[in-house]
Amino acid sequence: MGIRERLSGNEAAATAMRQINPDVVAAYPITPSTEIPQYFSAFVANGSVDSDFVAVESEHSAMSACIGAEAAGARAMTATSANGLSLMWEMIYIASSLRLPIVLSLVNRAVSGPLNIHNDHSDAMGVRDSGWIMLFSENNQEAYDNTLMAHRIAEHKDVMLPLMVCQDGFITSHSIENIELVEDDKVKEFVGEYHPEHYLLNKEEPIAVGPLDVQSYLFEHKAAQAEAMRNAKQVILDVAKDFEKMTGRKYGLFEEYKLDDAEVAIVCMNSTAGTTKFVVDNLREKGIKAGLLKLRVFRPFPVEEIAKALSHLKAVAILDKADSLNAAGGALFQDVTSAMYVENCHVPAVNYVYGIGGRDTKADEIEEVYNDLLEIAKTGKVDNPYRYFGLRKEAK
């Protein structure tokens, strides 16, 4: 039986970290993720954990400390947002290339400039091809649950890749919701201890970490990373099955909400899914067969599964909370439509960029997207696949 609690998304992430009790947490504060290391440092101070907390001078140093800890054989975690992730950028790639299963709580926020501390997904999209597993969280419960599953996924022998758990800044990170916690002893058993096969402090196997990779090796090195990312998909599902046995909460690569008989649907990530579910329910009461695909696992990208789930639709809209500024739509739109094309799934698709810099996402705007889809479904034609909603009309 779980423990009923009321926590913000940041508190939920920090509570999961307390229960995991990692060897090292290194962090530098940045809004809106600051509370996660702040709460965790209190756990360190009051003896709730025996982790080493490293208060570093920058986010670059935070990731560097995590890399050093993991390379030495320790389990390491951190948290950041937006510009902090940007400052980590060099080390983000090094962490994945060294196959170090660091876990990062990424509280999504707009990347400067201009300066904005509110939510969109530009930070996550900026590192989407860096070799990190990426899980997205609709609400506080999912942010907590994803964090509990993160080490089991990242540390699997067929994966050994870093993992980031994403949640929407302020929308979930600072909003208090009812949440069900897992008992501490069950978390300890579920997560298990970390016993890496190769690490710097193993005197029986002297190794170097971070050597130069020249033409003779780097190609194969990257191919091995790609294979590990492909392996992660099944590991994510296997870990989710074990988590369901423990909690009763079921997770997949994505959630299909009233999608099985839908004629039109939206694909989105994180907190927008909650608003979209509300709209879907209202439209269903009007006899409109609307549905939702809420993506949980963005990397590895579930190509075949998404194409199959969307194949019966008459029209689909993909919502991006970040603009790729490439004149060809957002990152999620490109991935979804690419998956559909490769899998020979021909459904009219349209992209909407929305919510940039924390712009409110309203139910009536989501409903207008569904109305647009109904018109597309009638004709099978998409006049303009690259659209916005929530944008002031005078904006250029």
For the segment 108-124, what is each residue's pLDDT rounded down to a tens digit? 999 999 999 999 999 99
Predicted pLDDT at 335: 98
pLDDT at position 211: 76
pLDDT digit string, tens, across residues 26-76: 999 999 999 999 999 999 999 999 999 999 999 999 999 999 999 999 999
The pLDDT value recorded for residue 394 is 58
* pLDDT at site 393: 80
Say if residues 318 and 292 touch (Cβ distance below 8 Å): no
Bond from prior residue into 114 cis (ω within 30 degrees of 0): yes
Chain CA centroid to CA 331, Å: 14
The dihedral through the CA atoms of 363, 352, 117, 145 has a sign that is: positive
Separation in Å, CA 17 to CA 9, 145, 146, 343, 391? 12, 11, 11, 39, 38
| Residues of each domain in the chain carrying CATH 3.40.50.970 | 3-247
Give the total residue count for the chain: 396
Q: To 5 degrees, how large is the angle CA 292–CA 6–CA 55?
A: 95
Q: How many CB atoms lie within 10 A of CB 257?
A: 19
pLDDT digits (tens, 9 = 90+) for 156-172: 999 999 999 999 999 99
pLDDT for 4 equals 97
To the nearest whole number, what is the mean pLDDT of the chain?
Answer: 97
Cβ–Cβ < 8 Å for 189, 129: no
Q: In the chain, which segments carry CATH 3.40.50.920?
A: 254-388
Fold of 254-388: Rossmann fold (3.40.50)
CATH superfamily label, 3-247 = Thiamin diphosphate (ThDP)-binding fold, Pyr/PP domains (3.40.50.970)
pTM of the model: 0.97
Residue ranges in the chain whose pLDDT is less than 50: 396
Which pLDDT does position 137 carry in this prediction? 98
